[in-house]
């Protein structure tokens, strides 16, 4: 059976009544092409001098890996000339990146985490690239783009997705009409549809969380996990499994394929930081994908995509995946409104 390529999928999305705009189609094709280049760098590893730190910290205060910088550069270079973007923002850059005056500005804003879980690269574990697309305000063509233009709720995303660099290299994408997965055919150099539309399987009793933070969590989260850990004899009456890969892309991809729940909750280590994960280029795009696949994404009390951002790099607590499991967790928080 001839598999559908990404280009064919996007042309069909343009024809649909939802009519994928031409600039957005170009944006997605360019991001997908940049992810192919990132995949080549990721796969080279030590043989290509791609491992290790560069000796500086990013705006998050995290050690920057060589691949963080290389992938960031790939995405900036690939997207500057196309005339589809007004500006870009990245986990690796303190502020926004404007389109150089020599190129035309477009109507979209692109946000990305160039290598999510980059500490996994040095130990040959799965990493990914996350991207989110917003529309720039109408008047941006006549003025300089500002950070405030990016501070839009996740519900205003027009597309989002991720590339995952694991045993296979995959691109998972939604333009608001469901979630579709494409595999990288390295012989053809093209993205070929492997599955879609994806729907999160329900009832898989598997949670993803970093258990070493347990003592810092709010009481409802501690009770929820304790009940899962109690297994058949506990309040849940069933045994649970746990996975934690150190890369949100890898954990969410597993949940898309076999169900379960992903958790990086608020913890008391730094009350000023409501969580570790970043709203604009981690929680919102992954929440968009999860919701498009029939799941839900909450921060403990609210739908993540309804949070009104107040800063480009703001953090948020995250619970997303199987709708019924997220609802069960929210019931623990509802019992404890003090949180």
Binding residues for substrate: 116-119, 210, 276
If the CB atoms of residues 191 and 264 are measured against ligand P6P, the closer one turns out to be 264
Least Cβ distance, residue 64 to ligand P6P (angstroms): 12
Least Cβ distance, residue 248 to ligand P6P (angstroms): 3
Residue 173 β-bridge partners: 161, 180
For residues 191 and 164, is the Cβ–Cβ distance under 8 A? no
Contact between 210 and ligand P6P (CB under 6 A)?
yes
If the CB atoms of residues 96 and 164 are measured against ligand P6P, the closer one turns out to be 164
Least Cβ distance, residue 143 to ligand P6P (angstroms): 33
- 10 Å CB burial of residue 122 (0-12, 13-18, 19+) is middle
Least Cβ distance, residue 18 to ligand P6P (angstroms): 30
The answer for residues whose C-beta is within 8 angstroms of residue 331's C-beta and 6 or more apart is none
Question: What CA–CA distances, in Å, run from 272 to 67, 196, 269, 282, 314?
Answer: 29, 40, 9, 19, 10
Least Cβ distance, residue 113 to ligand P6P (angstroms): 8
For residues 248 and 286, is the Cβ–Cβ distance under 8 A? yes
Sheet holding 169-174, edge to edge: 97-98, 85-90, 108-116, 127-135, 159-165, 169-174, 180-185, 190-195
The answer for residues whose C-beta is within 8 angstroms of residue 235's C-beta and 6 or more apart is 227
If the CB atoms of residues 228 and 277 are measured against ligand P6P, the closer one turns out to be 277
Closest to 277 in 3D by CA, of 64, 72, 116: 116
The answer for residues whose C-beta is within 8 angstroms of residue 155's C-beta and 6 or more apart is 305, 306
Provide the CA 275 distance to its chain's centre, in angstroms. 15
Interface region with ligand P6P, contact rule CB under 6 A, candidates 9-17, 82-90, 156-164, 244-252: 244-252
Interaction pattern, residues 103-142, with ligand P6P; x per rule: CB under 6 A: -------------xx-------------------------
Which of 277, 289, 293, 329 binds ligand P6P (CB under 6 A)? It is 277
Least Cβ distance, residue 246 to ligand P6P (angstroms): 5
Query: What residue number has its CB nearest to ligand P6P?
Result: 248
The answer for residues whose C-beta is within 8 angstroms of residue 30's C-beta and 6 or more apart is 78, 79, 82, 84
| Binding region | 91, 113, 115-119, 210, 276, 282
Sign (positive or negative) of CA dihedral 244, 250, 252, 255:
negative
Closest to 175 in 3D by CA, of 193, 161, 154: 161
Residue 240 β-bridge partners: none
User: Could you give the angle at which helices 6-15 and 22-44 cross, rounded to 10 degrees?
Assistant: 160
Which of 137, 178, 201, 246 binds ligand P6P (CB under 6 A)? It is 246
Interaction pattern, residues 57-86, with ligand P6P; x per rule: CB under 6 A: ------------------------------
If the CB atoms of residues 134 and 320 are measured against ligand P6P, the closer one turns out to be 320
Contact between 268 and ligand P6P (CB under 6 A)?
no
Least Cβ distance, residue 210 to ligand P6P (angstroms): 4
Which of 64, 169, 247, 296 binds ligand P6P (CB under 6 A)? It is 247
Interface region with ligand P6P, contact rule CB under 6 A, candidates 48-56, 153-161, 226-234, 243-251: 243-251
Provide the CA 226 distance to its chain's centre, in angstroms. 28
Site of tokens 């890898």: 250
Which of 225, 248, 290, 319 binds ligand P6P (CB under 6 A)? It is 248
Interaction pattern, residues 140-179, with ligand P6P; x per rule: CB under 6 A: ----------------------------------------
Q: Which residues bind ligand P6P (CB under 6 A)?
A: 116-117, 210, 246-248, 264, 276-277
């Amino acid at each position: 059976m001839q598999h559908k390529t990404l280009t064919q999928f996007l042309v069909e999305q343009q024809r649909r009544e939802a009519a994928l705009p031409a600039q957005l189609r170009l944006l997605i094709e360019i991001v997908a092409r940049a992810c192919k280049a990132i995949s080549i760098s990721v796969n080279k590893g030590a043989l290509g001098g791609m491992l290790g730190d560069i000796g500086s910290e990013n705006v998050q205060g995290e050690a920057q890996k060589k691949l963080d910088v290389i992938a960031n550069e790939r995405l900036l270079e690939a997207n500057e000339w196309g005339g589809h973007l007004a500006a870009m923002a990245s986990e690796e850059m303190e502020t926004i990146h404007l389109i150089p005056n020599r190129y035309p500005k477009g109507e979209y804003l692109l946000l990305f985490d160039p290598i999510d879980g980059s500490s996994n690269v040095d130990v040959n574990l799965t990493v990914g690239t996350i991207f989110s697309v917003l529309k720039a305000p109408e008047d941006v063509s006549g003025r300089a783009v500002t950070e405030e233009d990016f501070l839009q709720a996740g519900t205003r995303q027009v597309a989002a997705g991720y590339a995952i660099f694991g045993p296979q290299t995959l691109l998972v994408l939604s333009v608001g009409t469901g979630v579709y997965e494409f595999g990288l055919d390295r012989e053809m150099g093209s993205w070929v549809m492997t599955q879609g539309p994806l729907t999160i399987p329900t009832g898989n009793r598997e949670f993803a969380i970093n258990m070493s933070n347990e003592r810092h969590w709010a009481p409802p989260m501690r009770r929820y996990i304790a009940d899962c850990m109690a297994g058949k004899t506990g309040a849940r009456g069933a045994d649970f499994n746990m996975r934690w890969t150190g890369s949100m892309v890898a954990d969410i991809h597993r949940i898309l394929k076999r169900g379960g729940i992903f958790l990086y909750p608020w913890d008391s280590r730094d009350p000023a930081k409501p969580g570790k994960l970043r709203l604009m280029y981690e929680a919102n795009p992954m929440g968009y994908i999860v919701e498009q696949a029939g799941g839900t994404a909450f921060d403990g009390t609210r739908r993540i995509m309804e949070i009104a951002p107040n800063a480009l790099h703001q953090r948020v607590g995250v619970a997303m995946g199987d709708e019924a499991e997220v609802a069960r967790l929210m019931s623990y928080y509802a019992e404890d409104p003090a949180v």
